Structure 1
Amino acid sequence: MITLTGKRNDACFAEFVWEGDARIRSYRLGLEQLFHGRYLETMLVPFTGQAVLLIGCGKKEDFAPGLTAVKEVLAATAAKCRDFNIRACSMDVSCFTQLLGPEAFTAAVLGLGLGCYRYRYQPLENEEAWDCDFQLENGEAYADRLKEAQELLAGICFARNMVNTPGNHLRPMDFDRIITAYEKDVEIEAETLVYGQLRALKMEALYSVGQSSEYPPCLLILRYRGNPDSDEIYGLIGKGITCDTGGYCLKSSDSMGGIKSDMAGAAAVAAAMHAAAAQRLKVNVTACLPLSENRISQSALLPGDVITGFGGRTIEVLNTDAEGRLVLSDAVSYAVRREGITKVLDIATLTGAVANMLGNTIAGAMSDDDGFYALFERALEHSGERYLRLPFGREHEKMIKSDVADVKNVGGGCCGTITAGLFIRSFCEGRPWLHLDIAGTAWCGSPTYAYESKGATGAGVTTLYYLMKEASLPH
């Protein structure tokens, strides 16, 4: 739990120290030989009546990138409290807000919460639950920001929990029910199109992927109307493949460990939508989440098959492991034609190519509208996440043209991230489009940052939320 307070009143106080700070010498004679204030260095100094937990912040002039560094320092604080089984700790984060502004307060709250995050499907026998009451001093002016930060923290943890859940406990309809229940305490309308309805609507791209499994696919639609006076409706389309074997284009054995995590885009959208509604942002948003499994069976898609999407466009399926863009295409078409969205943002763990290109700390982004992308960039200033905008041209669009259908679902031996995005764009019917490929950043086998833990990262939650917040502001 994270609360605000006006003074130090706990048995432990966390002190943030810059490298070379003269205060180091004031705690104990010779302490400067043991603690230097280096980045993420920690030391617990016991005193009568109160312990001091020293947290190194590194050199002040090198404290960058700012918001990421704040989250890391506070996550290290939380982790050390856990190590020492400290149940209450107060701290003053004004050294960060004075340096980086009020956004540092939000980063501090996120860092503390994510530093405590652990996922286990079932707790170990006799495992004692650990919790800590973190009290932030001199924070009364940040009461509203604390509420927002805690909502974002809950959203990131929700997304992480969903992505970390074993696939046999998160079938498509399970995922649908969990998200629907999650959204019930805010003003979000939920509607589910089940398998029979998908067939009746001729959403062949979605149901052809899902019919390979005995666990049927569905399309979950979430509607939030925070600004009924506006005709602008942002469409958030999140990939929700809860099990991805690759189909007949079977994944390699070293890729099978991650087949449960191919629904991180849908999880991020659901979490960000909840946060936007909880904060009553003045923006209209409709999310369309195609939820499905991709398996091998007698009814599974085969390379060379041709299917027809909801919008009437024909698709040549050359790679059954490029199924994410198929289910997204029907969701985009439905959002455009039935939900009346005016802008399209899709987010997906879409291509291994983006991870090979950018690694696990930077995601890929594409857009055909500079104004929409500028809004996204303003959101990134608040979220601290990192994306690289990828270029594209007519030569890339030609790569997904099919000889036997309107479009094919893979483009060739190169530019895989770009052609995957352009495949989705071809179903947007001229709407401003923004594409986020988080295949490299949604999961970490070995954490890069102190606020990460092995497994899901919750990528995209904060950026989507801040994009909606930016959209709700007058410009």
Structure 2
Amino acid sequence: MSNPLPIQFHATDLELLSGHTGRISVLADAGAALSPAGRRLDRLMKGALARAVASDAFSKARPGDSLELAFPAGLAADAVQIVRLPKRADIATARKAGGTIGRTHGAAATLILGESHPRAADLAFGVAMRAYEFTAHKSGEKKVLGPVTMMVAAPEAVAKQAAPMAAVAEGVFFTRDLVNEPANVLTTHDFAARLAAMHELGLHVEILEEPELLKLGMNALLGVGMGSESPSKVVVMQWNGGKKGDAPFALVGKGVVFDSGGISIKPAGGMEEMTMDMGGAGVVAGVMRTLAMRQAKVNVVGLVGLVENMPDGRAQRPGDVVRSMKGDTIEVINTDAEGRLVLADVLWYAQERFKPVGMINLATLTGAIIVALGHENTGVFSNSDNLCNAFLKAAAAEGEGAWRMPMGDGYDAKLKSRIADIVNSCGRDGGAITAAQFLARFVKPETPWCHLDIAGTALLKSDTALAPKGATGWGVMALDRLIRDRYEKG
């Protein structure tokens, strides 16, 4: 697994500045006085730092952006990066500033003058998040990042504040690695094995194989994987850090390791991106890793349905009828509407076995949600205002875009089938909503539930403040905060 960039926190030492090779990143704001270390740096640079901070270029820079001075006179450093960060910056701006440093960080050592900035830990988190690269399949010498040292007034306090953030970064990186992997590597076997290895962190992990799934009646899930050589599986991860006997919070993820569309095959253009159709399961796995690494005082169960949707002589056909674990019959109109079939059985199993206090599922479920919300927001559907509002608050606090979408009886009526209880696809209009209505059929009325359609946010074609292009790990931060704020004890 890619590891988050380790950052050392060091007491402010002005003597280190003149001899530091590599890069120096200094925090400043237009119109504000330089910090003590900044003033020392400016003297060594014969006033060049102060002139740069007073320049129009820096004053027009947005908070979180930077200005760079290459090969500065009076220093051994290769460059001085001036990052605009006000003292009263919010979390998102501090992380963006860290991301700016992480994006430019290379093999040489980086020294960050954090001093007494109140958002030093968030800045460090941003550095680590943006420095991520997925290089598992790159030939030749692997890129090695230089060490990062942040000089702060109270290194022990900042390190303590940053420790849980490091666990979140681990979870995000785990998710990104899973989503970035090609399908010939991340088979259902390999995915399950990676999750099983997390028992070393204290998670209890079970892998349910096809004979057991058949016995449980998970015919909707099993039907999706009939055309693949990779066997379908359900992996159950339990973190029991709370009070013994307390009902857990449940996370459920769609884990389609590759989605060809099945018999209703997708167009060739862009199909290579369907390696990310297990993004929901990847986020669930990342959150469970984070909870274990920070020893969260809460009971949470994560369940993922792992399948591959391929065309084959044994593959499920349009027009087939399958009986779900719940007992409802489903007419398969479109085999490319497969994720909801996987989730239907896993959602029901999660409720039957664990009787959770609340449940959230994640899935790269519909292209329709991208049409509605683009790549800025995940679509949120819910039967509970309380749970939905709590999640939206957590997502906003972590800077992860999320937007609540409507549900209702009018949409639900579109699920009616001529020959079965419901259909799995209702056409293009309102496609993300009717998919959510389908899932709601497998949620018990007493279970507070949210469905997160991450089709537009799981994988991006351009970089962001905290991630290079590719897998984002969207949702790990928001779900960890939701669990910490709403369900964790102590």
Question: Could you state the TM-score of these two structures normalised by the residue count of structure 1?
Answer: 0.90
* Counterpart in the other structure of 2:451: 435
Corresponding residue to 2:93 among 69, 74, 95: 69
Q: CA deviation at 1:339?
A: 2.6
Q: Take 2:407 and 2:269, find their aligned partners in 1: how far apart are those partners? A: 31
Aligned residue for 1:357, secondary structure, equals: helix
Which stretch of the first structure deviates more once superposed, 465-474 or 271-280? 465-474
Matched-pair contact (CA < 8 Å) for 1:20–1:36: no
Matched-pair contact (CA < 8 Å) for 1:2–1:136: no
Q: Take 2:397 and 2:201, find their aligned partners in 1: how far apart are those partners? A: 23
Q: CA deviation at 1:407?
A: 1.7
Corresponding residue to 2:113 among 91, 102, 105: 91
Matched-pair contact (CA < 8 Å) for 2:242–2:489: no
Aligned residue for 2:417, secondary structure, equals: coil
Q: CA deviation at 1:428?
A: 1.1
Letter in 2 for 1:53: V
CA change 1:458–1:399 in 2 (3 A) is same
Corresponding residue to 2:136 among 101, 104, 121: 121
Q: Take 1:386 and 1:268, find their aligned partners in 2: how far apart are those partners? A: 15
Q: Take 1:290 and 1:229, find their aligned partners in 2: how far apart are those partners? A: 26
Question: Does residue 27 in structure 1 map to residue 42 in structure 2?
Answer: no
* Counterpart in the other structure of 1:36: 58
Question: Does residue 54 in structure 1 map to residue 81 in structure 2?
Answer: yes
Letter in 2 for 1:27: A
Aligned residue runs from structure 1 range 217-256, under 5 A: 217-229=232-244, 231-256=246-271
Which stretch of the first structure deviates more once superposed, 341-350 or 241-250? 341-350
* Counterpart in the other structure of 1:154: 170
CA change 1:377–1:468 in 2 (3 A) is same
Q: Take 2:301 and 2:380, find their aligned partners in 1: how far apart are those partners? A: 21
Q: CA deviation at 1:299?
A: 1.4
Q: Take 2:142 and 2:245, find their aligned partners in 1: how far apart are those partners? A: 51
Question: Does residue 371 in structure 1 map to residue 386 in structure 2?
Answer: yes
Q: CA deviation at 1:315?
A: 0.8
CA change 1:145–1:28 in 2 (3 A) is closer
Which stretch of the first structure deviates more once superposed, 223-232 or 196-205? 223-232
Aligned residue runs from structure 1 range 136-215, under 5 A: 136-138=151-153, 139-181=155-197, 183-215=198-230
Q: Take 1:197 and 1:260, find their aligned partners in 2: how far apart are those partners? A: 26
Per-residue CA distance 1:35-62 (angstroms, 9 max, x = gap): 525132321352535546233437889x
Matched-pair contact (CA < 8 Å) for 2:324–2:345: yes
CA change 1:20–1:125 in 2 (3 A) is same
Aligned residue for 1:169, secondary structure, equals: coil
Which stretch of the first structure deviates more once superposed, 127-136 or 191-200? 127-136
Q: CA deviation at 1:211?
A: 1.4
Q: Take 1:337 and 1:364, find their aligned partners in 2: how far apart are those partners? A: 26
Q: CA deviation at 1:33?
A: 5.1
> In the comparison of the two structures, how many residue pairs are matched?
461
Q: Take 2:271 and 2:101, find their aligned partners in 1: how far apart are those partners? A: 35
Per-residue CA distance 1:119-148 (angstroms, 9 max, x = gap): 123333244422322325134223332111
Question: Could you state the TM-score of these two structures normalised by the residue count of structure 2?
Answer: 0.88
Matched-pair contact (CA < 8 Å) for 2:85–2:94: no
CA change 1:29–1:176 in 2 (3 A) is closer
Q: CA deviation at 1:201?
A: 1.9
Q: CA deviation at 1:93?
A: 6.5
What's the % identity of the aligned pairs?
30
CA change 1:128–1:403 in 2 (3 A) is closer
Q: CA deviation at 1:309?
A: 0.8
Question: Does residue 329 in structure 1 map to residue 340 in structure 2?
Answer: no
Which stretch of the first structure deviates more once superposed, 218-227 or 35-44? 35-44
Unaligned runs of 5+ in 1: 98-103
Q: Take 1:136 and 1:354, find their aligned partners in 2: how far apart are those partners? A: 44
Matched-pair contact (CA < 8 Å) for 1:303–1:317: yes
Letter in 2 for 1:224: W
